[in-house]
Amino acid sequence: MKSKVVEVTKYIDSFPEDVALKLNELRELILKIIPVDAIECISYGMPAYKWNGILVYFAGYKKHIGFYPTPEAIIAFKNKLTSYPFSKGAIQFPLDKDLPVDLITEIVLHRINQNKK
């Protein structure tokens, strides 16, 4: 897994400092939540976390962080996403606002529970 971690670090380090800070914050949060045997990797060109299948992806952009928790999770949390632009598979967290730690935690835990099945 060490080389996979290096790839994610390189991905994050390729962004300007403000974006990289948010990406690192999101990464650290996800790593605290996921099972210890989950895998951190690059998939579809983005950091991804796998445990019994995909859990979540994230990506950096000029003005936001893209968070991709699968379409099912978007549907499940639709009522809690009204403060953020979102689509059927993505949520945008603006760089000029704090990451919604509690919401992200709920979504990642939801995805873990989904993948237990």
Domains, the chain:
2-116 (3.90.1150.200)
Strands (E) across 21-83 are located at 39-43, 46-50, 54-60, 64-68
Interval 25-67: pLDDT, tens: 999 999 999 999 999 999 999 999 999 999 999 999 999 999 9
2 falls in which pLDDT band (50, 70, 90)? very low
Interval 69-108: pLDDT, tens: 999 999 999 999 999 999 999 999 999 999 999 999 999 9
Angle between helix 17-33 and 2-13 (nearest 10): 150
- Say if residue 15's pLDDT is above 80: yes
Do residues 31 and 46 touch, judged by C-beta distance below 8 A? Answer: no
Rounded to two decimals, the pTM is 0.92
